[in-house]
Structure 1
Amino acid sequence: MTSDASAPESPSAPLYSPARVRELLTRHGLRPTKSLGQNFLIDGNILRAIAQSGGAEPGVSVLEVGPGLGVLTRELAGRGARVTALEKDERLRPVLEETLAGLDVRVVWGDALDFDYASLPAGTRVIANLPYYITGPLLARFMGAPGIVSATVLVQKEVAGRLAAKPGGDAYGFLSALAALHGTVTHVRDVPKGAFLPAPDVTSSVVRLDFDRTRPAPEPGFVAFVDHALRHRRKTLRNNLRMMGHAGETVDAAIAGQGLRADVRAEDVPLENLRHLARALGVVR
């Protein structure tokens, strides 16, 4: 969409209209802050697809991180979801008071990394355009919160690839393993740069993570073990485990006991084999 700068778009225009977004920013004296990862969605079809695939329905508890101008927030609340939105940028208070007026939305002001995710009610679904610079830490917090059953999020396409990667793939790493330990990952769709204002430097993707809360949460010791094992890519699993402090002879015996090659790399080893190795090395029972 385009509009004549000399003729501001009507306030009744959709909030995702580029002209409406620019008008809001100008009227409130705001500019998107790159350090906070502020890229506002301006594609109505993608907004609806995110809300739909995320499960925003009447009565559902939804958590949004980084509502920005409230574009996605309005879509979620308009579907009857009970929305809690976490926002760090205090400059957006008057904007959100305007754009979310009359909607069932609770805005919590503060850093999303400091929020108590364990306080969320059971059945909560995260639906958000995540700030790219804290995507990994946020996803880890979602996975560890027992009340969150899914997270449908906009992330960098590269991160989406890492989340869905399997052992042996070029993109496989700790984030891939962590996602697999907690549930499943589904690629929803790619999102072009032009769907945002301002346009980011990278292509984005929508992914949905479904967390299986019927299985026991992975032991912290095993999660740390996997993290260390995968931390130094292109090094052998043997070397990584020795760097963790395990004796070389013990490591060699454990690797051989799994029928793995002595020079195998951690990113090529299935999680079940890593779990057996962790048991053999006394990391977990």
Structure 2
Amino acid sequence: MTRPDPTDFPTSTLPLYSPTRVRDLLARHGLKPTKSLGQNFLIDGNILRAIAEAGGAAPGVPVLEIGPGLGVLTREIASRGAQVTALEKDERLRPVLSETLAGLDVRVIWGDALDFDYASLPEGTRVIANLPYYITGVLLSRFMHAPGVVSATVLVQKEVGQRLASRPGEDNYGFLSALAALHGTVRHIRDVPKGAFLPAPDVTSSVVRLDFDRTRPLPDPAFLKFVETALHHRRKTLRNNLRLSGLDGEAVGEALQEAGLRSDVRAEDVPLADLQRVAAVLGVIR
């Protein structure tokens, strides 16, 4: 049996994630994806459904989306009954989102995601988003520090996803891994090929879910700075990294010994609990 050609049907009857409909929307509104804003639109329905499912989109759940673009993922989330707030910077998309999100429980806030007050989000908020790759790290940090946000299910570059999920001693472990572990847990959901986007990005992507443990107090800023210093050159020894930051070499050596660590241990191999002991001995934290 021959499959029907999508072009045989009116564009409006095609699903929003159809490449034909995405191209039609862009053409009718005189738009082109802006690389500087990280605009790569999802065109794979299976992946859209997987993201919404993994993110916990469900009736009555408050969801925050960053960069709704044409509203493709937004529609999938809202169709599950979630109460969606979407942050969009590109004002050119106003008429598109008015069309694609008509009749849905979606509030679009126009402005830069870096200027938004994440502390204002209601308790139980779940972030579900295809994040602009160029500000991924900054946004993840904002989510971690927002008391109302309980999880973030996000599309990121594959290598960023690997770093987020890595543990001490693994190849991709670094400050981002430590930061995620200090705030909760990370789970890899699935990889996403370049062809799932229009236009196709230069890199493979991954969907990861971060769950934030709000029963813990937020990490001490002094300890976060210490961890960042310790892992700045993660393949160097912890002793050298701390000495380069201005700490006394003899004191560092004594702290490592007291924490039961070798003097030549590499920074990337040190568990967070041991880093905390070193920081306490050095008087960085109480």
* TM-score, structure 2 normalization: 0.96
Q: Distance in 1 between matches of 2:91 and 2:217?
A: 38
Instruction: Report SS of the residue matched to 1:11.
Output: helix
CA RMSD of aligned residues (A): 1.5
Structure 2 counterpart of 1:149: 150
Structure 1 counterpart of 2:209: 208
CA contact (8 A) 1:2 1:19 kept: no
Q: Does 1:254 align with 2:255?
A: yes
Instruction: Report SS of the residue matched to 1:184.
Output: strand
Q: Distance in 2 between matches of 1:4 and 1:205?
A: 28
Q: Distance in 2 between matches of 1:197 and 1:273?
A: 45
Structure 2 counterpart of 1:71: 72
Q: Does 1:57 align with 2:62?
A: no
The 1:136/1:2 distance shift into structure 2, 3 A limit, reads farther
Q: Distance in 2 between matches of 1:23 and 1:181?
A: 45
Amino acid paired to 2:113:
A
Instruction: Describe how 1:1-285 pairs up with structure 2 within 5 A.
Output: 9-285=10-286
Instruction: Report SS of the residue matched to 1:175.
Output: helix
Structure 1 residues 158-190: Cα deviation after superposition (integer angstroms, max 9, x where no partner): 111000001011100000000000000011111
Q: Distance in 2 between matches of 1:124 and 1:208?
A: 14
State the 1:12 CA deviation. Answer: 2.3
Q: Distance in 1 between matches of 2:178 and 2:115?
A: 24
Amino acid paired to 2:194:
K
CA contact (8 A) 1:2 1:18 kept: no
CA contact (8 A) 1:183 1:210 kept: yes
Amino acid paired to 2:273:
E
CA contact (8 A) 2:11 2:24 kept: no
Structure 1 residues 192-229: Cα deviation after superposition (integer angstroms, max 9, x where no partner): 11111011111111110000001111111111110111
CA contact (8 A) 2:67 2:129 kept: yes
Instruction: Report SS of the residue matched to 1:91.
Output: helix
Instruction: Report SS of the residue matched to 2:129.
Output: strand
Query: Which shows bigger deviation, 9-18 or 116-125?
Result: 9-18
State the 1:10 CA deviation. Answer: 2.1
Q: Distance in 2 between matches of 1:173 and 1:114?
A: 27
The 1:2/1:27 distance shift into structure 2, 3 A limit, reads farther
Structure 1 residues 132-159: Cα deviation after superposition (integer angstroms, max 9, x where no partner): 1111111111111110000000111111
State the 1:4 CA deviation. Answer: 7.4
Instruction: Report SS of the residue matched to 2:98.
Output: helix
Instruction: Report SS of the residue matched to 2:11.
Output: coil
CA contact (8 A) 2:11 2:20 kept: no
State the 1:234 CA deviation. Answer: 2.3
State the 1:284 CA deviation. Answer: 0.8
Amino acid paired to 2:202:
D
Structure 1 residues 45-101: Cα deviation after superposition (integer angstroms, max 9, x where no partner): 110110011000000000000100000000111111000001111111111111111
CA contact (8 A) 2:161 2:188 kept: yes
CA contact (8 A) 1:63 1:85 kept: yes
Identity fraction in percent: 76
Instruction: Report SS of the residue matched to 1:231.
Output: coil
Structure 2 residues without counterparts, runs of 5 or longer: none
Structure 1 residues without counterparts, runs of 5 or longer: none
* TM-score, structure 1 normalization: 0.97
Amino acid paired to 1:276:
R
